[in-house]
């Protein structure tokens, strides 16, 4: 799931923090999305009741996932769809490749799908000589730039209009104005040709409805509709937890999703397809494949502490309120899923604390994410649990281990500790500026590089105690 | 064990129990948006459809509908040509009468060439797609369109403009009501819920209308009862 084999957390953070445009753009996008959400959820009436309904529905599905998945498979097959179950990303990729081989397709149109990012589908298809065309405007932009998404809802928010115009120019073969209508029109024309000529499409899936075999996809641009309307073969990719029991629960979640993601009442196009096309229908896929991916979701399911993270509906609301995400943007995380939910699910999906152990520290534990979540996932609690588990599993850096070892040693030997503190109080002046400790040798410098420490008190509490105790005795006597 | 049995059994194992043979459906409650009268519902729909970026008019007769079209597109739109207006086979009576009154040539989608490349080439150049609509939704200003052989899905998607005719009686307050009614008959291959013109904010969060779907969306509410 790594975006870059040479990912280094400090280098990635330095890069992000020194990129003024990125930081401004991230704040602009997240502020806009957050404010839109606020307005549109206020309009709905008691948002807390909606969140509780969302939580209840998603919990119910997660706890009965085998039952609903079985029902979904039955109904999709009854409708004439082809279901593929993939335990691993590799299996999902191979299933997809086989479909291409069977038909001999050399080009595919795609509408936005985080699952395909998760399994790294595009590079795998391209390796087979297949042209992959991303059709969501933002995905189209970052595909040309050869970059991963920086936000699950607005994946290209780190690019400015001039950069986008520069990316489009080699394709256009002439200079382009960098105003939004020109750039949008250019993408529309380019992708129109691809849509009209397309033979196969790949889409994501926001929710699959178990009792009808329906898949739901929301887009604002219409690329999702194009991808599910024009090609004669369609592949839908979904994580196995993205299920709702019936239309009844679907309407609640569609409201929660659109309002939390972009602050819309509903997305412009909410498409409920129950493929394949019916006899005599003129549009829609004749052949439809539904690829259902596990990729350690079953491990999360079996892990009661983290099970609630499977409730996620991928709205991105937690990104927009996260003080860490808002400072560094999505790329600094190094993972496909960033933001608070990415912090929680990446180490679980990858079952790897060694590589992803840095993620639980991309949080101030302020809990704004949990408050924003439309299905009430206690994200900050889960982030703390990750830190805890990382330590228990022995992935603590040596320095940290040493510090806590010494901490334990000295704090259980009060006399020695007191001696050290007295020494510290005496010699701290070399490190003190304006009443705060502002520098020092490692490991102290890890802290003082970015913030200051209060001074060690001239007299320790222990040294003050005889005096304090006398006062206390006097006070007690006074009471009587 | 088949791949499917194994896959499901693994989930049951992780949940620490056998797969149940039945599950009690979940009941949830949440605040329900509601209009108070048919008039209120109609007015609410007109207002929200415009809020979502569409243009809408009430019409009691085909002449009134024709007037609205002339206001929107001109007496004789400059783009009007043999293949520029494409419609569903199944249209409300008023829609056909309105087109006849205007004397605008229109192609029926199912009558376009059966060869898909040729058909989509015509659609790509079409200026106006005309459809009916099964439901309207007040709360979100949406149109709901079911697909079938006589209702091509491309008609509301590929042309630059989409115009839908909807009876006032088909307007509902909320999405959940529409989905409940849809569930009562067989589910079509596609149910499209459309709320405004195609849009994006992908470039610097700047709203831009008309990416892949229609740039403009219009609705005539048939109000003749």
**CA–CA dist A376, A50 (Å, integer):** 10
The pLDDT value given to residue A399: 83
pLDDT tier at A1, thresholds 50, 70, 90: very low
How many other C-beta atoms lie within 10 A of the C-beta of residue A160? 17
CA dist A6 to A2, A272, A289, A330, Å? Answer: 9, 41, 36, 17
Q: How many angstroms separate the Cα of B73 from the Cα of each of A415, A422, B91, B101, B105?
A: 90, 87, 20, 15, 14
Longest dimension (CA), chain A: 98
Averaged pLDDT, A331-354: 97
Q: What average pLDDT does the structure give for chain A?
A: 94
Residue from the list A251, A280, A302 with its beta carbon closest to the beta carbon of B14: A302
Tokens of A134: 């991303």
The pLDDT assigned to A461 comes to 86
Q: Is A310 helix (H, G, I), strand (E, B) or coil?
A: helix
Residue A441, pLDDT > 90, answer no
Please tell me which residue, A124 or A475, carries the higher pLDDT value: A124
Strand, helix or coil for residue A56: helix
* Residue A191 near residue B210, CB atoms below 8 Å: no
A21/chain B closest Cα distance in angstroms: 11
Q: B179 vs A251: CB contact, 8 Å cut-off?
A: yes
Q: Say yes or no for a CB contact (<8 Å) between B211 and A222.
A: yes
Q: How confident is the model at residue A60 (pLDDT cuts 50, 70, 90)?
A: very high
Query: pLDDT confidence of A480, banded at 50, 70, 90?
Result: low
The alpha carbon dihedral of A359, A363, A367, A369 has a sign of negative
Each residue's pLDDT tens digit, A217-237: 999 999 999 999 999 999 999
Task: Flag whether the pTM goes above 0.80.
Answer: yes
Q: Is the peptide bond before A276 cis (omega within 30 degrees of 0)?
A: yes
d(CA B45, CA B52): 10
Instruction: Determine the 3-state secondary structure of A421 from DSSP.
Output: helix
Kindly determine whether residue B124 and residue A251, on different chains, have CB atoms separated by under 8 Å.
Answer: no
pLDDT at A142 over 80: yes
Closest CA of chain A from B93, distance in Å: 22
pLDDT at position B1 is 54
Please judge whether B175 and A63 are an interchain contact, meaning their C-beta atoms are less than 8 angstroms apart.
Answer: no
Mean pLDDT of A286-304: 98
Q: What is the mean pLDDT of residues A433-447?
A: 85
B222: helix, coil or strand? strand
Q: What is the pLDDT of residues A273-287, one digit of tens each?
A: 999 999 999 999 999
pLDDT surpassing 70 at residue A324:
yes
- Strand-pairing partners, residue A109, are A133, A201
Are residues A29 and A157 in contact, defined by beta-carbon separation less than 8 angstroms? Answer: yes
Tell me the per-residue pLDDT of A174-203, one tens digit each, with 9 for 90 and over: 999 999 999 999 999 999 999 999 999 999
Q: Residue A4 — pLDDT band, cuts 50, 70, 90? A: low
Contact A324, A341 (CB under 8 A): no
Give percent of chain B above pLDDT 90.
98
pLDDT, tens digit, 9 for 90 and up, residues A84-118: 999 999 999 999 999 999 999 999 999 989 999 99
Average pLDDT over residues A142-149: 94
Residue of chain A with shortest Cα separation from B28: A53
Q: What is the ipTM of this complex?
A: 0.97
Return the residue matching tokens 């008019």: B57
Query: Cis peptide before B113, with omega less than 30 degrees from 0?
Result: no
Question: What does the DSSP 8-state code read for residue B38?
Answer: H
Residue for token pair 């297949």 = A130
DSSP state of A278: P
Please give the mean pLDDT across all residues of chain B. Answer: 96
Question: Nearest CA to A321 among A55, A43, A27?
Answer: A27
Kindly indicate the confidence band of residue A2, based on its pLDDT and cuts at 50, 70 and 90: very low
The three-state secondary structure class of A218 is strand
Percent of chain A residues topping a pLDDT of 90: 85
Q: What integer pLDDT is reported at residue A459 of this predicted model?
A: 85
Would the CB atoms of B33 and A251 count as touching at under 8 Å? no
> In chain B, whose CA is at the least distance from the CA of A137?
B202
pLDDT of residue A96: 98
In this prediction, the residues of chain B whose per-residue pLDDT falls under 70 are: 1
Distance from CA of B202 to the nearest CA of A (A): 5
Instruction: State which residue of chain B sits closest to A59, comparing Cα positions.
Output: B26
Residue A397: pLDDT band by 50, 70, 90 thresholds?
Answer: confident
CA–CA separation, A314 and A375 (whole Å): 10
Q: For residue A273, give the chain B residue with the closest CA.
A: B190
């Amino acid at each position: 799931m790594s975006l870059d084999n040479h990912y280094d957390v400090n280098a990635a953070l330095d890069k992000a923090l020194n990129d003024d445009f990125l930081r401004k753009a991230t704040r602009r996008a997240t502020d806009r999305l957050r404010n839109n959400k606020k307005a549109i959820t206020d309009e709905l009436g008691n948002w807390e009741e909606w969140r509780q309904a969302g939580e209840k529905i998603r919990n119910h599905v997660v706890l009965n996932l085998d039952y609903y998945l079985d029902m979904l498979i039955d109904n999709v097959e009854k409708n004439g769809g082809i279901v593929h179950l993939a335990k691993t990303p590799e299996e999902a990729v191979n299933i997809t490749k086989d479909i291409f081989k069977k038909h001999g397709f050399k080009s595919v149109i795609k509408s936005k799908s985080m699952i395909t990012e998760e399994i790294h589908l595009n590079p795998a298809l391209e390796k087979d000589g297949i042209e992959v065309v991303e059709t969501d405007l933002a995905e189209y932009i970052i595909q040309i730039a050869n970059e991963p998404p920086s936000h699950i809802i607005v994946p290209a928010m780190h690019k400015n209009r001039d950069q986008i115009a520069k990316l489009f120019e080699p394709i256009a073969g002439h200079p382009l104005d960098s105003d939004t209508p020109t750039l949008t029109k250019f993408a529309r024309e380019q992708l129109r040709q691809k849509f009209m000529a397309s033979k196969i499409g790949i889409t994501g899936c926001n929710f699959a409805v178990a009792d009808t075999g329906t898949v739901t996809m929301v887009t604002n641009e219409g690329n999702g509709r194009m991808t599910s309307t024009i090609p004669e073969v369609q592949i839908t990719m979904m994580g196995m937890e993205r299920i709702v029991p019936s239309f009844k629960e679907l309407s609640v979640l569609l409201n929660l999703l659109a309002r939390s993601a972009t602050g819309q009442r509903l997305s412009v196009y909410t498409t409920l397809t129950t493929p394949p096309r019916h006899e005599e229908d003129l549009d829609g896929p004749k052949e439809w494949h539904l690829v259902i991916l596990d990729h350690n979701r079953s491990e999360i399911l079996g892990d009661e502490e983290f099970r609630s993270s499977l409730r996620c509906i991928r709205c991105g609301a937690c990104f927009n309120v996260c003080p860490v995400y808002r400072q560094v943007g999505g790329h600094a995380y190094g993972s496909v899923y960033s933001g608070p939910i990415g912090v929680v699910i990446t180490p679980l999906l990858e079952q790897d604390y060694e590589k992803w152990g840095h993620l639980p520290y991309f949080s101030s534990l302020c809990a704004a994410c949990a408050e924003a979540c439309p299905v009430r996932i206690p994200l900050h609690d889960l982030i703390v649990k990750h830190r805890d588990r990382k330590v228990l599993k022995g992935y603590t850096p040596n320095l940290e281990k040493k510090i806590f070892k010494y901490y334990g040693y000295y704090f259980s030997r009060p006399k020695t500790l007191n001696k050290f503190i007295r020494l510290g109080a005496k010699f701290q002046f070399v490190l003190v500026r304006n009443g705060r400790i502002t520098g020092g040798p490692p490991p102290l410098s890890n802290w003082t590089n970015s913030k200051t420490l209060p001074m060690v008190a001239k007299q320790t509490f222990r040294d003050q105690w005889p005096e304090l105790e006398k006062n206390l005795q006097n006070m007690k006597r006074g009471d009587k | 064990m088949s791949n499917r049995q194994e896959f499901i059994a693994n989930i049951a194992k992780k949940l620490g129990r056998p797969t149940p043979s039945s599950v009690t459906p979940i009941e949830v409650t949440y605040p329900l948006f509601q209009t108070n009268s048919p008039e209120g519902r109609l007015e609410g729909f007109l207002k929200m459809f415009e809020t979502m970026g569409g243009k809408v008019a009430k019409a009691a007769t085909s002449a009134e509908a024709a007037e609205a079209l002339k206001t929107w597109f001109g007496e004789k739109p400059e783009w009007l040509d043999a293949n520029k207006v494409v419609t569903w086979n199944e249209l409300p009576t008023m829609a056909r009468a309105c087109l006849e009154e205007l004397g605008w040539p229109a192609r029926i989608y199912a009558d376009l060439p059966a060869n898909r490349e040729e058909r989509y080439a015509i659609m790509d150049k079409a200026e106006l797609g005309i459809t009916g609509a099964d439901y309207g939704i007040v709360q979100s200003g949406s149109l709901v369109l079911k697909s079938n052989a006589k209702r091509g899905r491309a008609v509301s998607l590929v042309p630059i403009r989409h115009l839908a005719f909807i009876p006032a009686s088909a307007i509902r307050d909320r999405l959940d009501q529409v989905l409940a009614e849809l569930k009562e008959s067989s589910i079509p291959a596609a149910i499209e819920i459309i709320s405004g013109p195609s849009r994006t904010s992908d470039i610097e969060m700047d709203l831009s209308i008309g990416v892949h779907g229609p740039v403009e969306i219009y609705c005539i509410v048939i109000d003749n009862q």
